[in-house]
Structure 1
């Protein structure tokens, strides 16, 4: 990005703080050698990992277990033309440790589309980036947004 382009780079802790406020994000993974994106509800664990609770029978579980994925969430205010976007990249894995499963069953996310058998997927944050646009900007009298 160029200086004064209207965006502000966000630090890792600021990104995680904003991510924790979003109710829905998008997981980006590979399906049949092509990028695929799905909206999901989630929560953040105390170490900054993204946690998903999804159907054990879903295609998503098979596609992401052990794979590097991206996770994105954002918030936009169209009236003020401001907002933020955070992208977290890391390895996803189905949680199998029983003690961890017991803990996540109490503290982890609740599925918005419950199924009879669910699993937790943890995305470990290896790369966390974000940017914020505050109040948009103008160029030649025209208001621009992202």
Structure 2
């Protein structure tokens, strides 16, 4: 097996730049007695992350507890992947002038339906890493080459 590839820890500026390059992430929240995770569309806005949603489980999960939003990507040309995590507090945007400013952001949820609630995550911490994607052959084992007769 070849030597493991180095992982590059990213600066906050590099993390924000990568977050601005995508619109899809996963929001992790605490619900009752367990964690849950939701895919969503988001946009970076002045050092925060904003998404829109409808009433429901996500909104219930953001009230008063820390959240995390993770986004990642792959640069096929270089063979490098990246992952960024924003940890902080989320709050519904309710002030009329804030709602008006937020309504102009390019937030385009993939799923239809009523999504009239805007939520802003104010980060306490942003962290990320970049690394070369391992060749799939690195993970092959003797079991990968079993014949159909042994299945």
Please list every run of at least 4 consecutive aligned residues from structure 1 whose deviation after the TM superposition is greater than 6 angstroms.
none
C-alpha RMSD over aligned residues: 2.3
User: How far 1:143 moved relative to its partner?
Assistant: 4.1
Q: Greater CA radius of gyration, 1 or 2?
A: 2
Deviation, 1:92, is 0.4
Mapped partners of 2:9, 2:30: distance in 1: 27
Q: Mean alpha-carbon deviation: is it higher for 102-111 or for 11-20?
A: 102-111
Q: Matched residue pairs, number? A: 135
**1:78/1:118 CA distance change after superposition, 3 Å:** same
Q: Name the CA distance, whole Å, in 1 between partners of 2:92 and 2:10.
A: 29
Query: Of Structure 1 and Structure 2, which has the larger fraction of its residues in helix?
Result: 2
- Residue ranges of structure 2 left out of the alignment (5+ in a row): 140-151
Which whole-Å deviations, capped at 9, do the CAs of 1:76-123 have from their partners, x for residues lacking one? 357864200000100000001100100111125122224335110100
The whole-number CA distance in structure 2 between the counterparts of 1:95 and 1:125 is: 15
Distance 2:77 2:11 in 1: 26
- Please give the TM-score of this superposition, normalised by the length of structure 1: 0.81
Structure 1: how far apart are the matches of 2:85 and 2:112? 26
Gaps spanning 5+ residues in structure 1: where?
none
